[in-house]
């Protein structure tokens, strides 16, 4: 009986535990570590400038807000009753064009004041246009597609500029990597986030029919037990997530989204242009898939500390937005002339 118990202990407990410990030590020697989330501190006055949305994931809460990122980067933001970023404008005798800007936090102007976003700069230089900043933090092209349908239904826009970044590929497919970054990163920035986001559904596509699917906040992502304590568990879960993401053709999915939006605009007699903020192999492949679509490469360097808030945050600062505005201005003018 004792011999049997010893065998069970050896093969059921001792050897598996020894194997796990050896595997953990080997990974540590090779440089692998447990999962650690980089804290991203966001202080808002009044609290919660952003709302959960049941189809867009996140929406802007109307009001005036004072926001500080990582205790260093401070900006004031005004959100209109239409849940858009306020764009200061001068009085004009006649408005020739209504133009909507779609995009993420780069378009919204995360980190800069209302009058410092590239949309605000373009508005100041072109009072004859009525520019609407509909960028929202965390948005990808699927949210822009849903916004575009609303814009078309309202029938008050002559041109749409879609501001795209390489970050949007993973958002469009809601990849495992993005799910993790969104859920864990947002959770670390605000303690009551789970209750605030309980009704939030994030849209994504998994095929070229561009019919959005939705993932509720509660099912977005969960770390495996022990991931934040053991390098081995973190390594295995990371491999699992990478394998799932490897089966996604994010460039093809995003190509289909752009083609869908272009078609929608054409049928509604709306000019449509793409502003690609940064350049990667994936954005170049995307551009190659859309040779006839109006396209601007900004080639913005998100690691340039003179144009961003690095090391505190990688969003464009006021100088960065000025650079982007200067590059968009002639592209937008040509887009409107060639409509």
Residue 36 lies in a domain: no
| Average pLDDT of the residues of the chain | 91
pLDDT tens by residue, 156-178: 899 999 999 999 999 999 999 99
Residue 222 lies in a domain: yes
Residue 216 lies in a domain: yes
Q: Is the pLDDT of residue 2 over 80?
A: no
Q: Are residues 80 and 135 in the same domain?
A: yes
Domains contained in the chain, number:
2
- Residue 182 CA to residue 138 CA, distance in Å, equals 8
Mean predicted confidence (pLDDT) in 49-71: 93
Q: Are residues 27 and 50 in the same domain?
A: no
User: In terms of C-beta density within 10 A (0-12 exposed, 13-18 middle, 19 or more buried), how is residue 94 classed?
Assistant: exposed
Q: Is the pLDDT of residue 8 over 80?
A: no
pLDDT tens by residue, 28-59: 888 888 988 766 778 899 988 999 999 999 99
Q: Distance of alpha carbon 117 from its chain centroid, rounded? A: 17
Q: Is the pLDDT of residue 93 over 80?
A: no
Residue 85 lies in a domain: yes
- Looking at per-residue confidence, does 77 or 31 come out higher? 77
- As given in the structure block, the two tokens for residue 51 are 């709302």
281-289 vs 250-267: helix axis angle to the nearest 10?
Answer: 40
Residue 278 lies in a domain: yes
3-state SS, one letter per residue, for 52-109? EECCCEEEECCEEEEEEECCCEEEEEEECCCCCECCCCCCCCCCCEEEEEECCHHHHC
Cβ atoms within 10 Å, residue 70: 15
The pLDDT of residue 337 is 84
Q: Distance of alpha carbon 192 from its chain centroid, rounded? A: 21
Half-sphere exposure of 313 (CA within 13 A, CB side): 22
Backbone angles phi and psi of 117, in degrees to 5: -70, 155
Residue 277 lies in a domain: yes
**87 pLDDT tier (thresholds 50, 70, 90):** very high
- Residue 103 CA to residue 147 CA, distance in Å, equals 10
Query: Domain with 74 in it: what CATH number?
Result: 3.40.50.1110
Q: Are residues 80 and 140 in the same domain?
A: yes
Q: Are residues 61 and 13 in the same domain?
A: no
Q: Are residues 127 and 52 in the same domain?
A: yes
- Cα end-to-end distance, the chain, whole Å: 88
- As given in the structure block, the two tokens for residue 250 are 């994010």
Q: Are residues 85 and 175 in the same domain?
A: yes
Q: Are residues 259 and 301 in the same domain?
A: yes
Residue 37 lies in a domain: no
Residue 50 lies in a domain: yes
Q: Are residues 303 and 155 in the same domain?
A: yes
Query: What single-letter DSSP state applies at residue 224?
Result: P
Backbone angles phi and psi of 38, in degrees to 5: -75, 120
Q: Are residues 68 and 5 in the same domain?
A: no
**196 pLDDT tier (thresholds 50, 70, 90):** confident
Q: Are residues 171 and 195 in the same domain?
A: yes
pTM, whole model, 2 decimals? 0.90
Q: Are residues 268 and 204 in the same domain?
A: yes
Mean predicted confidence (pLDDT) in 242-263: 95
Q: Is the pLDDT of residue 152 over 60?
A: yes
Q: Are residues 26 and 89 in the same domain?
A: no
Mean predicted confidence (pLDDT) in 92-117: 91
pLDDT tens by residue, 230-242: 999 999 999 999 9
Distances (CA, A) of 23 to 35, 248, 317: 16, 30, 45
The pLDDT of residue 39 is 67
The pLDDT of residue 7 is 67
- The parent domain of residue 17 ranges over 1-31
Return the bridge partners of 274, or none. Answer: 162, 295
């Amino acid at each position: 009986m004792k011999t049997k118990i010893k065998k069970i202990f050896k093969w059921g407990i001792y050897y598996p535990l020894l194997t796990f410990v050896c595997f953990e030590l080997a990974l540590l020697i090779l440089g692998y570590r447990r999962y650690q989330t980089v804290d991203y501190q966001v202080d808002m006055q009044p609290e919660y400038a952003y709302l959960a949305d049941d189809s867009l994931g996140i929406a802007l809460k109307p009001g005036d807000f004072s926001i500080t990122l990582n205790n260093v980067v401070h900006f004031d933001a005004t959100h209109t009753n239409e849940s858009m970023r306020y764009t200061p404008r001068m009085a004009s005798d006649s408005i020739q064009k209504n133009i909507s800007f779609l995009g993420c936090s780069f378009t919204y102007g995360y980190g800069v004041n209302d009058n410092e976003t590239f949309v605000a700069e373009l508005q100041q230089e072109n009072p004859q246009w009525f520019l609407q900043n509909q960028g929202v933090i965390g948005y990808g092209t699927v949210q822009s597609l849903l916004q575009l349908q609303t814009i078309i239904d309202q029938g008050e826009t002559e041109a749409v500029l879609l501001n795209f970044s390489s970050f949007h590929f993973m958002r469009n497919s809601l990849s495992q990597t993005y799910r993790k970054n969104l859920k864990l990163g947002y959770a670390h920035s605000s303690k009551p986030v789970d209750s605030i986001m309980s009704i939030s559904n994030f849209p994504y596509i998994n095929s070229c029919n561009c019919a959005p699917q939705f993932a509720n906040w509660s099912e977005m992502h969960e770390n495996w037990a022990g991931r934040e304590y053991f390098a081995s568990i973190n390594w295995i879960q990371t491999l699992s997530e990478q394998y799932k993401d490897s089966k996604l053709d994010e460039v093809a999915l995003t190509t289909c989204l752009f083609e869908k939006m272009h078609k929608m605009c054409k049928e509604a007699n709306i000019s449509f242009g793409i502003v690609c903020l940064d350049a990667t192999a994936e954005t170049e492949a995307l551009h190659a898939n859309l040779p006839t679509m109006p396209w601007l490469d900004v080639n913005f360097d998100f690691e340039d500390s003179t144009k961003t808030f690095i090391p505190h945050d990688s969003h464009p600062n006021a100088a960065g937005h000025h650079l982007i505005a200067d590059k968009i201005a002639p592209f937008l003018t040509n887009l409107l002339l060639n409509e």
